[in-house]
Structure 1
Amino acid sequence: MDIISSEKDFMSDAISFEEHWARTHQFDPPAIFDSLREERPLARMVYPDGHVGWIATSHELARKVLSDPRFSHSMEFCHFPTTHWGELTPNSPEIPGMFIYMDPPDHTRYRRLLTGEFTGRRASQMTSRVEAMVADQIAVMRERGTAADVVEDFAEPLALRVLSEVIGLPYGERDRYANAPTVMHDPDSKMEDVGPVYEQALSFFIELIERKRKQPEDDILSRLIADGQLTDEELCNMVALLLFAGFGTTAPALAVSVFALLHHEDQLAAVRADPAKLDGAVEELLRYLTINQYEIFRTALEDVELNGEVVKKGDTVTVSLPAANRDPAKFGCPAQLDIERDTAGHMSFGYGVHQCLGQNLARVVLRVGLSALLREFPGLRLAVDFDEVPLRLKGSVFALKSLPVSW
């Protein structure tokens, strides 16, 4: 009888994954994260497939889970904390080249091939090219007259152009691959829409590999082909990973950052008054917004004692980066956007061996993009009421459907 009673308590104490989506404010994570972090920073959570796992909401626990080799990121035995297009994400064996869902040593082998491509120095060398692309998108906005959409006219095309050039995708042929990351990152997409655009993109990548093999250029794909360590299947999947992951985070981060600055007029004024504060502003915006919402998770490879609990082998732990970045034990007054704060240790790019590979390039895009918008449009403002800006709350990334502005 005691066992039955404890099982009921165990289940009733678990929160539902759906509660994550109940935002109370445009820029704030769900309020439940604050209470969880204070009362039980490692809490039971019922996953979409019925698995009763865990969710970690403190900065300390987030770092512990993401740096502990006893936790896996493999898709073979994990439980996804979100649904995709209304469907459960099935377990699957490792996909060659898709190293984001691998553990060492396989993850290490693939990632090492790309580490040199995304150093701070390499990203800095891209600055002039990014500036040129930003100037082109500024011109597109001006062509609209005195109003434009930051998402459609600036953030998305800029992120796609930068990634295309770095990876080696011909932007002039973007109609053959650009729909795939857009559709796959849209939680409102229909399941039947995803397969065709994904297959179209993969078919183009395979064709492109053959072209690059014959006529290599100065890009990641050409260098990986010349290196000779990867099969065509691995190359194709690695291109898909770099494009989809990079586009799906960089474009939303830029658009939501513009939205946040336009709303926080004192912070916007401070950046305008002293452009040298922009680097700090970018880091604070990354922390404050934390667009990577709900798909950071790890599965225990063995029983692990954590925060006084035993996470059993096979249990999945979701790590809430938005909650970790709003932990008052790490950041004073964390619910405030403060470009003057010390943001060291923020986890917007994750932590541990899976920390975002392209974070240096993302910072360049954010810094150059924001700088140009503020400089070129001194009267930039929202073209609709604050509450009318359409948000994209479900899915793995916090994003905007559109951001109408005028000047």
Structure 2
Amino acid sequence: MRHELSDEPVRLPIERPSGCPFDPPVAYASLREKRPLTRLRFPDGHVGWLATSHSVVRAILSDSRFSSRYELMHLPYDSGIEGTLGPAPVGDLTGLDAPEHTRYRRLLTGKFTVRRMRLLTERVEQVTADHLDAMERRGPTLDLVQEYAQPIPALIICELLGVPYADQDFFRRQTEVLITQGTSEEEKIAALTAFQDYLHKLVLTKRAAPTDDLLSDLTSSDLTDEELAGIGAFLLGAGLDTTANMIAYGTFALLSNPDQLAALRGDPGLAETAVEELMRYLTVAQTGARTALEDAEVAGRLIKAGETVVVAMEAANRDPERFPDPDTLDVRRNATGHLGFGHGIHQCLGQQLARIEMRVALPALLTRFPTLRLAVAPEEVPLRTGMNIFGVHELPVTWDKE
């Protein structure tokens, strides 16, 4: 039976609780309990929906009646862009539906299998050890983001794709422009153009003289130069930022929960469950959006064609109906089914690589520096508000030198 909504639409952003850098907005809990699909007013005047429960978010993400295409989407935050977005840049899988999305995904899935990513474990361990050695020489007080969290996944994704690591600062600057809410359309276009121009030149080099890397491997496919450059930019941007942020933000969460820190340090074998729990508990990719292609009834609500639904993954991952005592970090929890990597056809392509990097980097850091702690008060850690990926800009840490 369908229930009609008569309540006043809510607006985003909804305030996160002050003094708690890990919890989603308190309002999500009451919305999820009373009406897991709530009317939402967008900055452009559109009235769509906000989904906050695990079951509803999961249902929408797996429903082909809902589109990821950017040009159909109303943005829930003030983006500084007038009107609607244009179509997804070539190679950007996030903004595509089937069959276009299927074609790209099929080409790439085999490159990121569990088996292939596990073969990289030894290299991830070596890169991690090298950066721990460098931290020990430089420490004991430093920014964990710059010295550890960023360079490990950056080096791995650059090697995997065949991109010169020396240029990673350039990539990072462009990525930050693209994921920061409120940057102008001109700035985003300039960053995207610079990113793709670089990759296009690199693709031409790979075609002329292939090397042992993913981009060279893909030159034997039917992808055009433009498509290959776009996919390279998409994979590089994703690989540079999200995992780096999870390593830093995850360390912050562990340092703020001494019992969980002690559990993981005492038993590095907990790394697998700890990573899944941190992905659930922190949910750095807080929201996504889908637009209904046709009228669709979900959870007793009628979502009309053309209406955009914002899916609050951070609310879904704190749903007590799916995860008991959801506001508690528990590195022993079985967090299977969390939405930290998304769900459906757009579930994170590089999730297996991200898992390996975090499973190696977090316990190795805690083992090498048993007295690791924050070098500033928790409230002084600068949070990444106003960005598509939540977390920390810096994480000042220190330890006792032996």
Residue by residue over 1:167-195, the C-alpha shift from the partner in whole angstroms, topping out at 9 and shown as x without a partner, is 22111333543421133334476666544
CA separation of 1:31 and 1:328: change in aligned 2, threshold 3 A: same
Aligned with residue 262 of structure 1, among 255, 264, 273: 255
Equivalent position to 1:302, from 287, 294, 304 = 294
**Matching of residue 345 in structure 1 with residue 340 in structure 2:** no
User: Which residue type is aligned with residue 342 of structure 1?
Assistant: N
Q: Residue 297 of structure 1: SS of its match in structure 2?
A: strand
1:53 equivalenced with 2:48 (yes/no): yes
The CA distance in 2 between the partners of 1:350 and 1:135, in whole Å, is 30
Partner of 2:230: 237
The gaps in structure 2 that reach 5 residues or longer are: none
**SS in structure 1 opposite 2:71?**
coil
The 1:23–1:14 alpha-carbon spacing in structure 2 relative to 1, beyond 3 Å, is: farther
Q: Deviations over 1:39-64 (max 9, x none)?
A: 11100011122211001000110111
Asked if 1:246 is matched to 2:239, the reply is yes
Structure 2 distance, partners of 1:140, 1:182, is 26
Say whether 1:80 aligns with 2:75: yes
Q: Please give the TM-score of this superposition, normalised by the length of structure 2.
A: 0.93
Q: What SS does the aligned partner of 1:350 have? A: coil
Report the Cα distance in structure 1 between the residues aligned to 2:183 and 2:395, rounded to whole angstroms. 20
> Does structure 1 residue 393 correspond to structure 2 residue 388?
no
Q: Partner letter of residue 201 of structure 2? A: E
CA distance 1:182–1:138, change in 2 (3 Å): farther
Equivalent pairs counted in the alignment come to 396
Matched letter for residue 254 of structure 2: L
Give the letter for the 1:130 counterpart.
V
- From 204, 207, 211, the counterpart of 1:213: 207
Aligned pairs for 1:124-273 (under 5 A) are: 124-187=118-181, 193-227=187-221, 229-273=222-266
Report the 3-state secondary structure (helix = DSSP H, G, I; strand = E; otherwise coil) of the residue aligned with 1:131. Answer: helix
29, 32, 44: which one aligns with 2:24 = 29
- Secondary structure of the residue aligned to 2:397 is strand
Match for 2:259: what amino acid? D
**Cα displacement string for residues 274-320 of structure 1 (whole angstroms, at most 9, x for unaligned residues):** 111111111111110010012x1111011011122110000001111
Q: Give the alignment of 1:251-400 within 5 angstroms.
A: 251-294=244-287, 296-400=288-392
Contact 1:23 1:31 in 2 (8 A): no
- 2:36 and 2:169 mapped to 1: Cα distance? 45
Separation in 2 of the partners of 1:207 and 1:175? 18
Between the aligned partners of 1:186 and 1:160, the Cα distance in structure 2 is: 19
2:83 and 2:259 map into 1 onto residues whose CA distance is 43
Q: Tell me the alpha carbon deviations over residues 211-263 of structure 1, each in whole angstroms, 9 at most, x when there is no partner.
A: 11122122111111122x11111111111111112223111111100000001
Q: Does the Cα contact within 8 Å between 1:147 and 1:405 map onto a contact in 2?
A: yes
State, as a whole percentage, how many aligned pairs show the same letter: 45
Aligned twin of 1:3: none
Larger mean CA deviation between 73-82 and 104-113 belongs to: 73-82
Residues 1:194 and 1:92: Cα distance change in structure 2 (over 3 Å): closer
Q: Distance in 1 between matches of 2:15 and 2:101?
A: 29
Equivalent position amino acid for 1:275 in 2:
P
Instruction: Tell me the residue number matched to 1:4.
Output: none
- Of 356-365 and 391-400, deviating more is 391-400
Kept after mapping to 1: 8 A contact 2:171/2:237: no
**Is contact 1:80-1:89 (8 Å) kept?**
no
Deviation by residue 1:355-383 (Cα, 9 ceiling, x = unmatched): 11110000011111102211111111000
Shift of 1:20: 5.3
Q: Secondary structure at the match of 1:121?
A: helix
Conservation of the 8 A alpha-carbon contact between 1:147 and 1:406: yes
Kindly report the root-mean-square deviation, in angstroms, between the aligned alpha carbons of the 2 structures: 2.0
Match of 2:87 among 83, 89, 93: 93
Asked if 1:405 is matched to 2:380, the reply is: no
CA distance 1:362–1:89, shift in 2 (3 Å)? farther
Distance 1:186 1:153, change over 3 A: farther
Amino acid at match of 2:32: R
CA–CA distance in 2 between the matches of 1:375 and 1:189?
A: 40
Q: Distance between the aligned counterparts of 2:188 and 2:132, measured in 1?
A: 31
Contact 2:172 2:240 in 1 (8 A): no
Q: 1:88 to 1:397 in 2, by over 3 A?
A: farther
The correspondence for 1:122, drawn from 108, 116, 121, is 116
Structure 1, 333-342 or 127-136: larger mean CA deviation: 127-136
The yes-or-no answer on 1:102 pairing with 2:109 is no
- Asked if 1 retains the 8 angstrom alpha-carbon contact of 2:19 and 2:379, the reply is no
Contact 1:24 1:31 in 2 (8 A): no
**CA deviation after TM superposition for structure 1 residue 111, in Å:** 0.6
Residue 271 to residue 61, structure 1, CA distance change in 2 (3 Å):
same
